[in-house]
Structure 1
Amino acid sequence: MTRIYMNRWFSVAYHYIGMIRNNPDGEKFVFYGTHPDPRHMSLLAADHAEVEPAVIGLEYVQFCVDFCKKHEIDIFIPRLHMEEIARHIHLFDEIGTKVMVCRDIELLEAMMEKDKFYELLQGQDLVAIPEYRVVNTAAHFKQAYEELSAQGMKVCFKPTKAEGGNGFRMIDDEQDPVAELFGYVTVSTTFRRAYETLSLAGQFEDVMVMEMLDGPEYSIDCIATAEGELITAIPRRKSEGRLYLLEDVPELMEISRRIAGALRIPYAFNIQVRYNNGIPKLLEINPRMSGGLYITCLSGINMPYLAVRSIMGKPIAAPAPQLGITASFVEQAVVLDR
């Protein structure tokens, strides 16, 4: 019986626990979870759940170490504070807990900050990088916007350290303020509004001002060995509304192979690209299971379980995903208390 611990995950951990538990090999697992919210959905599928303390840094890592030691955890799949956990990975090695995290600290930290990651990839010919500028004052924001606009580009911006879509905004100077007020909430703003708001802050955390990519957006979910050898990569295209398409796109598969071969990211990771003028350009790489991985698994490949087999050092036959699938998702009601 293998014990798996997941800390402060997104609600989709509910799906991933179910997939690992219902694996085709009949392997038995016991799941442990922690979260500040004892009623969080990520804990619902776990066999044992506890509330996390409000601590950060090494103190948080020590909490995770103590939790793993107390419950004799075999595999720890972290989401929160992956960098800090990786910096102190020896503490987990000493108690015999395998941690599903990239041990290359420089690479891991770079993946967490978009500008550092783009700098790391410059000149490696792995994937095209969007045009961008990093700014931390309103004056530099204005300069970056004008430089990119002068090249005929639409412009967007995002904090360099933000996760997912947090802080992402598209600049659209043709907005109708009244239509915007009574329409759906959007991530668009005008240059003037953004500039005036940023001017109030004086200096702010680094923001990446970059070309807006208008073409199809893909998330490529990948599974690799502990040494970073690519096992499978499945492109998932975001379509209209809640529609996703699992597609066979040779150039995206080749990008995945190049990235895996050069960076050697272990276990599970997700490459996000978006096309512009027919060229796929990198948005970011997440060194963990993605939030939409459960949709990719409709290809017939149990990717969370493959990641677990990988960290356990068990052999994995090359999977044959079914592609050409259009997929979506619906809410599911769940009883918490009776």
Structure 2
Amino acid sequence: MKKRIWFNQWFTTVAHFIEMIRYNSDGIEFEVYGTSTNENALYLSYCDAAFMEPDTYGEEYVQFCIAFCRTHSIDIFVPRKENVLISKHIKQFTELGVKVLVCPDARLMEMLDDKEATYRLIENHSLLKNYVSIPEYFIVTNAEAFKTAYNRLKEMGHKVCFKPVIGEGGNGFRLIKDQLDTIEELFYKGVSHQITFEHAYSILKQQAVFPPLMVLEYLDGTEYSIDCLALDGELMAAIPRKKGKGRVRELEENQELITLAEKINEALEIPFVYNIQVKYKDGKPKLLEINPRMSGGLHYSCLAGINMPYRAVKVLIMGNKAIERIEPHFGIKSSYLEKEVILKDITEKISQERAFFS
């Protein structure tokens, strides 16, 4: 009998994960459900059943998720949207017989969702503070504190950048430059994440208080994502993925980063699949963030010969019986091309689902 697996609001690249889970080497059959607030979300075309989901958040959204699982007899739920809150309610899903691919430690999930809390966790951890370096940073909530933090970091000799304390990916990231708007930047740089201090300061002064910003040293070296597969403190795979120029990605047997992943796994015991992002400065890797979910670029790491999305689902279903140390293949360099995809028409299913959950 096919297992029903549901992906809620996700990145477009979840389409790759859906295919990897569907065409697994064990021959386990899955019926894939997908939901989105965007009826043209590309990954819905890769699902066996696709529906619109309500544009809600918080407790109301969690109740939608519980109702969706009950209505469609979902066996496995792979959440991205509101995954922290879903972790807090995991018992309600378990009572329905639903296995959820999310770290069940809701407190840890909350800390990893907050960049300041993550850095404090590293700074105060007896093991991690000796193995994991973090950038110099300040947390600010008003323009004057922003100015002070900027000046202090400049006095330390750093280039300065800032980003929201709670946010996903590069959303809200800006690099502060002394001068902008050269001909080269205007004609050739495309969309820029650079801003002058004066411009940023003038914008931030528009509000007396704003959501917490992290003002920190800019790391100008190579960036890596380390995709990890683990359960009960057993690290089955750690694959450092170097971000090259443009679209180039390279799987690198970087023992320094593999050791870093081993120490984070030993200390935090994040289960299933997760991602560690670091960037180098002066030859030293510094932590950007830890994402307790499948990363948007996980499919690149799977070129190492490990079907990480399926294996994560397998350990979720089978537990310790599925633990297996896997040796990845390194030295693989890759890129990608766009591909046209005919979108699935889900209009009828949209109306049905809206009617049911209204």
Distance, in Å, in 2 between the alignment partners of 1:317 and 1:266 is: 14
CA shift at 1:83, angstroms?
1.3
Match of 1:311 in 2: 316
Match of 2:33 in 1: 32
- What TM-score does the superposition give when structure 1 sets the normalisation length? 0.97
- Asked if 1:260 is matched to 2:265, the reply is yes
By relative contact order (CA 8 Å, sep 6+), the higher-ranking structure is 2
Match of 1:174 in 2: 179
The 5 A counterparts of 1:205-216 are 205-216=211-222
> What is the percentage of aligned positions where both structures have the same residue?
49
Secondary structure (helix, strand or coil) at the match of 1:202 reads: coil
Q: Indicate which of 324, 331, 339 corresponds to 1:332.
A: 339
8 A Cα contact 1:6 1:76, kept in partner: yes
- Asked if 1:131 is matched to 2:114, the reply is no
8 A Cα contact 1:228 1:267, kept in partner: no
CA shift at 1:71, angstroms?
1.6
* C-alpha distance after superposition, 1:173-228 (max 9, x if no partner): 13245543334221111111111111122211100000000111000001111x24
8 A Cα contact 1:11 1:41, kept in partner: yes
Distance, in Å, in 2 between the alignment partners of 1:54 and 1:240 is: 36
RMSD of aligned alpha carbons: 1.4
Secondary structure (helix, strand or coil) at the match of 1:257 reads: helix
CA shift at 1:268, angstroms?
0.8
Match of 1:199 in 2: 205
The 5 A counterparts of 1:180-259 are 180-183=185-188, 184-225=190-231, 227-259=232-264
Specify whether residues 91 and 173 from structure 1 end up closer, same or farther in structure 2 by C-alpha distance, changes over 3 A only. same
Name whichever structure is richer in helix by fraction.
2
Match of 2:117 in 1: 116
Report the number of matched residues.
Answer: 337
8 A Cα contact 1:301 1:321, kept in partner: yes
* C-alpha distance after superposition, 1:135-177 (max 9, x if no partner): 0111000000000100101110001111100000001113245
Specify whether residues 200 and 182 from structure 1 end up closer, same or farther in structure 2 by C-alpha distance, changes over 3 A only. farther
Q: Indicate which of 274, 277, 284 corresponds to 2:279.
A: 274
Structure 2 residue runs of 5 or longer lacking an equivalent are 346-358
- Asked if 1:291 is matched to 2:296, the reply is yes
Distance, in Å, in 2 between the alignment partners of 1:295 and 1:247 is: 12
Match of 1:63 in 2: 64
- What TM-score does the superposition give when structure 2 sets the normalisation length? 0.91
Runs of at least 4 residues off by over 3 Å: 176-183
- Asked if 1:156 is matched to 2:161, the reply is yes
Distance, in Å, in 1 between the alignment partners of 2:220 and 2:344 is: 45
Distance, in Å, in 2 between the alignment partners of 1:179 and 1:78 is: 42
The amino acid that maps onto 1:218 is Y
- Asked if 1:105 is matched to 2:106, the reply is yes
The amino acid that maps onto 2:283 is G
The amino acid that maps onto 2:245 is E
Distance, in Å, in 2 between the alignment partners of 1:244 and 1:55 is: 35
CA shift at 1:301, angstroms?
1.0
Secondary structure (helix, strand or coil) at the match of 2:43 reads: helix
Secondary structure (helix, strand or coil) at the match of 1:163 reads: coil
CA shift at 1:269, angstroms?
0.4
Secondary structure (helix, strand or coil) at the match of 2:111 reads: helix
8 A Cα contact 2:3 2:75, kept in partner: yes
* C-alpha distance after superposition, 1:239-270 (max 9, x if no partner): 11110110000010000000011001111100
Distance, in Å, in 2 between the alignment partners of 1:137 and 1:286 is: 27
Distance, in Å, in 2 between the alignment partners of 1:67 and 1:231 is: 32
Distance, in Å, in 2 between the alignment partners of 1:337 and 1:130 is: 45
